[in-house]
Amino acid sequence: MDEYALIKKIIQPTYRRDELIKGIGDDSAVFRSSEADTVVAVDTFVENVHFTKETLAPWQIGYRLLGANISDMAAMGAEPLFYLVSIVLPNGIDDHFVVEVFSGMDQLAAKFGIDLIGGDTVSGTELALSLTIIGSVPRGKARYRSHARAGDVVFVTGTLGDSRAGLQLLLQKEQIESDDTLRQRLIKKHQQPEPRVHFAKALRKIDRVALNDVSDGIANELHEIAEQSDVTIEINDAHIPISDGLRLFSKSEQTNFKYFGGEDFELVGTVSETNFPVVKKEGEKLGVKVTEIGSISYNKERNGNVYVYKEDSIKRLQKHGYVHKSRENNDEIKDD
């Protein structure tokens, strides 16, 4: 592998950000920070663990990897600026494949005006990509999972479970007709997620918002908020927004995908009742559907937990499954 020749092929012809002083080509990149807080995250994709070449084209591997990282920025209320990519290449992967992966990243990078400013390229036994993203947020305005308070409204953007449903369709390997828009949308949601950066930025006028992105499924993300904020979350099953595409699946798949199917890269958050209309309005302006799905309370015995109201019963939601909660005696009985 000629690393130098490869880097020449993936380098951006021009940089988009004014803050950048030195891009690819030296021992490190250099950019000048303003007074803002700097936000950094990293995500790693390993072939056959986090993705397969069967369900993602090379450019989509890049698109999704960067998408997942940009979504982490959105979940902090931050604006993405730069990214670096470390790539492990096994034998048999040619330059063309790598160039395609990077072109997928650049497609999304162009949308958000961000720059690839460095990385590392090494040989190994498994195809793996690790992406580091750097962003900024006005001082003190980073949105933490610990920001939820009793009385808050719990909201979510878009619809849930679509990415997992799209993956299911891809794994079934059935031909999906191009005019089958419902199923095509699910597949697109899996292959080209749309991080909610603009929406998160539009919420900056609000003092306090807790935010988390739906990367592992809402059951997991709600628990993270409940635990880190030391509050109780109650949500209403019937209010969880799902797409018409998801309704094509069995009831149990719908439930499974909407709670536990990750990688929708939507945002889940909590905000005071007073400010919820502002969240809704900002969503409307940007064409982002915002749905109220529940509320936050403070209850020492229950804090850290998430409860789901469904068909007249309350169930305690587990991070990866249900536990039934009987109203009479508060016993917890496993559902299945």
Q: List contacts with ligand ADP (CB under 6 A).
A: 7, 10, 24-27, 85, 87, 116, 118-121
Residue 3 interacting with Mg ion (CB under 5 A):
no
Q: Where are the alpha helices (DSSP H) in 47-139?
A: 58-75, 95-112
Q: Choose among ligand ADP, Mg ion, none what residue 114 binds, the Cβ cut-off being 5 to 8 Å by kind.
A: none
End-to-end alpha carbon distance in the chain: 51
Taking the C-alpha atoms of residue 182 and residue 208, their distance in angstroms, rounded to an integer, is 36
Nearest to 270 by CA among 217, 221, 215: 221
Looking at the DSSP bridge assignments, the partners of residue 128 are: 46, 88
120 vs 284 by CB, closer to Mg ion: 120
Nearest to 261 by CA among 253, 271, 251: 253
Taking the C-alpha atoms of residue 267 and residue 155, their distance in angstroms, rounded to an integer, is 8
Give the nearest distance from C-beta 158 to ligand ADP in angstroms: 31
120 vs 230 by CB, closer to Mg ion: 120
What are the structure tokens assigned to 326, written together?
């009987």
Give the nearest distance from C-beta 119 to ligand ADP in angstroms: 3
What are the structure tokens assigned to 97, written together?
């494949």
Q: Choose among Mg ion, ligand ADP, none what residue 182 binds, the Cβ cut-off being 5 to 8 Å by kind.
A: none
Taking the C-alpha atoms of residue 159 and residue 144, their distance in angstroms, rounded to an integer, is 22
Give the nearest distance from C-beta 36 to ligand ADP in angstroms: 24
* The amino acid at 71: S
Q: Contact, 238 vs 264, CB < 8 A? A: no
Q: Choose among Mg ion, ligand ADP, none what residue 269 binds, the Cβ cut-off being 5 to 8 Å by kind.
A: none
* The amino acid at 40: V
Give the nearest distance from C-beta 27 to ligand ADP in angstroms: 4
Q: Choose among ligand ADP, Mg ion, none what residue 262 binds, the Cβ cut-off being 5 to 8 Å by kind.
A: none
Taking the C-alpha atoms of residue 147 and residue 145, their distance in angstroms, rounded to an integer, is 6
Q: Choose among Mg ion, ligand ADP, none what residue 119 binds, the Cβ cut-off being 5 to 8 Å by kind.
A: ligand ADP
Give the total of residues touching Mg ion (CB under 5 A): 1
28 vs 172 by CB, closer to Mg ion: 28
Give how far Cα 99 sits from Cα of 42, 75, 84, 102, 177, Å: 21, 29, 15, 5, 29
104 vs 245 by CB, closer to ligand ADP: 104
84 vs 137 by CB, closer to Mg ion: 84
Give the nearest distance from C-beta 120 to Mg ion in angstroms: 4
Give the nearest distance from C-beta 23 to ligand ADP in angstroms: 7
Q: Which string of x and - marks every residue 89-108 that binds Mg ion (by CB under 5 A)?
A: --------------------
Nearest to 246 by CA among 130, 153, 133, 168: 168
What are the structure tokens assigned to 278, written together?
């502002």
96 vs 247 by CB, closer to ligand ADP: 96
Nearest to 209 by CA among 297, 276, 305, 303: 276
Taking the C-alpha atoms of residue 118 and residue 136, their distance in angstroms, rounded to an integer, is 18
Give the nearest distance from C-beta 65 to ligand ADP in angstroms: 12
Counting beta carbons within 10 angstroms of the beta carbon of residue 44, is it exposed (0 to 12), middle (13 to 18) or buried (19 or more)? middle
Give the nearest distance from C-beta 26 to ligand ADP in angstroms: 6
120 vs 332 by CB, closer to Mg ion: 120
120 vs 244 by CB, closer to Mg ion: 120
Q: Which string of x and - marks every residue 111-150 that binds Mg ion (by CB under 5 A)?
A: ---------x------------------------------
Closest residue to Mg ion using C-beta atoms: 120
User: Which residues lie near Mg ion (CB under 5 A)?
Assistant: 120
